[in-house]
Amino acid sequence: MKNKVLQGLVPAGLLLIALATVEPLILHPFEPGGWYGYVYTAGALLLLLCRLFTTHTATDLRLRRLYRMESWSAIFFCVGAFFIFYPAGKMRDWLAFTLAGAALQIFTSIMIPIRQRKINKR
């Protein structure tokens, strides 16, 4: 039951991150600061909490590694949130960590179901 609730909150965290990433890039590209940093941080922390407290009972080593990579994507988003508020940080800093976290998230969201199907066939 707990895992289902946490897995239901993951899309909310990812949507908050996406909303906060799009806002400074498209709507206000030359205005520093704003509400997007707080929304991004809330999404990153929500995603991190969901990833840390979700338990997986996978016995397959590759599947466990993929789940661990999902947790690393949440950590990358949290580092990006740090660079939003870091005074010497530039926009490229937090965007780089956002892109790295997104790449890991996309990779694991594709590979986990593929690996689960292969395990279920056996």
72-121 pLDDT, tens digit each: 999 999 999 999 888 887 888 889 999 999 999 999 999 999 999 999 99
Do residues 102 and 70 lie in contact, with contact meaning Cβ atoms separated by under 8 Å? no
Helices 91-121 and 61-85: crossing angle in degrees, nearest 10, is 170
Looking at residue 4, its pLDDT comes to 82
- Residues 42, 74 contacting (CB under 8 angstroms): no
The answer on pLDDT for 30 being more than 60 is no
Structural domain boundaries enclosing 25? 2-121
Report the amino acid identity of residue 44.
A
What was the pLDDT predicted at 49?
A: 93
CA–CA separation, 65 and 12 (whole Å): 24
Residues 51-63 have a mean pLDDT of: 88
Structural domains counted in the chain? 1
| pLDDT greater at residue 78 or residue 7 | 78
